[in-house]
Amino acid sequence: MRKIWEIPGGIHPPEHKAQSLCNPLADLPLPAQIVLPVSQHLGAPAEPIVEVGDQVLKGELVAMGKQAISANVHASTSGKVVAIEQRPLPHPSGMDGLCVVIEPDGEDRWAALQACEDYNTLEPAALLEKIQAAGIAGMGGAGFPTSVKLAPRNPIKTLIINGTECEPYITADDVLMRHHAADIVQGIQLLSHLLGEPEEILVAIENNKPEAIETMKAAVSECGDARMEVVPLPTKYPSGGEKQLVQILTGQEVPSGGLPAQLGVVCQNVATVLAAWRAVRFGEPLIERITTVTGEAFSDQRNVRVRLGTPIEFVLEQHGYDGKRASRLVMGGPMMGFSIVNAEAPVIKTTNCLLAPSLEEAPSPGPAQACIRCGMCAEACPSSLLPQQLYWYSRAQDEEKLKAHNLFDCIECGACSYVCPSQIPLVQFYRAAKGEIRRHDAEKKHADRARQRFEFHKQRIEEEKAARARAREEAQEKARQRAQEKAAAEAATGDKPVAPKADKAKLVADALAKAKQAGGADQRERLERKLLAADDRLAKLKQKESELADSPEQLEALRARIKEAELASQAIRNKLAALESAPSNAQAGQSKVAD
């Protein structure tokens, strides 16, 4: 008998599991439309690779996860792509997201699948590629891409298969283990092969699932793997949390901010194991899952095998949902689930339960009262945190104190809110605080990257300036060296004797004289033109003088103008005379310089 360790905290809420087990597992019919969000997992959204109007087959890739942490999305039936647009998502905020909308053709034709008879003939990398291509993500609620989780950096000693399903109402994994135990064991052996054959393989199931325990024990016994063991656990919420399950089965505590892989442990949900097995063995992508439909607001409560992308409102219609009787509509369980704002949102990879409790089952909580500091939240916390302090720091938005008190170790199980006598929605405060911290951290990273880009750009510009300056200095130095070498060569050969200073002065004077002569010729031409114009004007005025002999007043004014014209004409003649005498003066100056 394997030793079971106790975990701190935990609660025992009413289970309410029997009501969804009264009816057998059923298959849900095809809806009028399939709505496939491109983000059904943790990490980056996938990118659509189809267009409106395309015909797609069941299992055909419609959106590809192109980043390291992402997951592919496949068509869950054959039909026509009628839209790629924003549609409501099953999300606590009720936000919209990009979806590929398919109108089924009713034929449900499969795309070509690549089966694998013996996975032992393939390398682990090829097997991981098959799992990644099939879009397998954690189906227990987290939605982390499975291919990433199955490639840990540390050696793995313990593989834990999580079949605890500790949250009230949910029985999807219970039914899955009852119907597919042999395939789950095959999938466990596949994961063991991928992880380098761990020393022990533990299948954890809470003891409130006796049929699943017996069925899994029989399948494990039949496979004959001595490392594999079914371990019944005491029923306690939240024993199915990953870190809590590691502590229960191994006695080791995952460090704050750490992962189980650091302790040599990997955990996988039973539904994820089955999906990975079918992806490798038959080439089937993840296009359907078992979902629990329960709560007294349904006339029929059961587990159904439902296609991914099926609108939630269609599931409700198929089970006689009475909205007036329901206190709320929840995706997931009553502890960790969230209310669905818009029932048009579709079923996705992490939809393990649709819960519609009646007002009698889940009455609306009253208004939150003041904290009475009773400490019950700290006693119930399975992560040994201080919920009361986290609550105060969340309200004060003190992010440093929240980090110091390990806010991100909170698994949001809701145990603290469940036991709070003041009905304070503690988990909502923690979720909001986490979101703000993540947003601020993202902004800080963005600002740091922008600053680094600016500093790099500035450094590059300075380096380019320095490089250009060095290039100029090198070019100048080379020019000086060439000039010195040339002068030395000319001095040594005597090819170009240095002219005497007198000869240089004469050359300069000749150049100046030539320039002056050229300038003087131009000036003489201008003066001659002006002189002709002045003489012509004077002649016209004198001719007019003879015509005005009978008008003494006009004649007097005209004679004044004639006098001005004569003076202007004489001034031009004086300038011409001065210009003509300039060459002789220049020659006299040259003779003085030569002397």
Residues 279/286, Cβ–Cβ less than 8 Å? yes
d(CA 536, CA 529): 11
Q: What percent of the chain has pLDDT over 90?
A: 68
Query: Among residues 393, 379, 461, which one has the least CA distance to residue 421?
Result: 379
d(CA 379, CA 385): 9
Going by pLDDT thresholds of 50, 70 and 90, the confidence category of residue 194 is very high
pLDDT of res. 43 = 86
Query: Among residues 363, 287, 295, which one has the least CA distance to residue 333?
Result: 295
Average pLDDT over residues 532-558: 76
Going by pLDDT thresholds of 50, 70 and 90, the confidence category of residue 501 is very low
Helix axes 181-194, 124-133, angle to 10 degrees: 130
Residues 263/251, Cβ–Cβ less than 8 Å? no
pLDDT of res. 519 = 58
Sheet holding 61-64, edge to edge: 47-48, 61-64, 73-74
Average pLDDT over residues 512-529: 68
**Whole-number mean pLDDT of the chain?**
89
Going by pLDDT thresholds of 50, 70 and 90, the confidence category of residue 594 is very low
d(CA 176, CA 292): 11
Average pLDDT over residues 215-233: 94
413 pLDDT above the threshold of 60: yes
Domain 18-355: give its CATH architecture.
Answer: 3-Layer(aba) Sandwich (3.40)
pLDDT of res. 391 = 95
Residue ranges of alpha helices (H) inside 55-137 are: 124-133
Render pLDDT for 337-352 as a digit per residue (tens, 0 to 9).
999 989 999 999 999 9
pLDDT of res. 529 = 81
457 pLDDT above the threshold of 60: yes
505 pLDDT above the threshold of 70: no
pLDDT of res. 495 = 56
> What are the domain boundaries of the chain?
18-355, 525-594
Going by pLDDT thresholds of 50, 70 and 90, the confidence category of residue 490 is confident
pLDDT of res. 177 = 97
d(CA 353, CA 331): 6
Render pLDDT for 238-278 as a digit per residue (tens, 0 to 9).
999 999 999 999 999 999 888 999 999 999 999 999 999 99
Torsion of CA 168, 174, 175, 181, to 10 degrees: 170
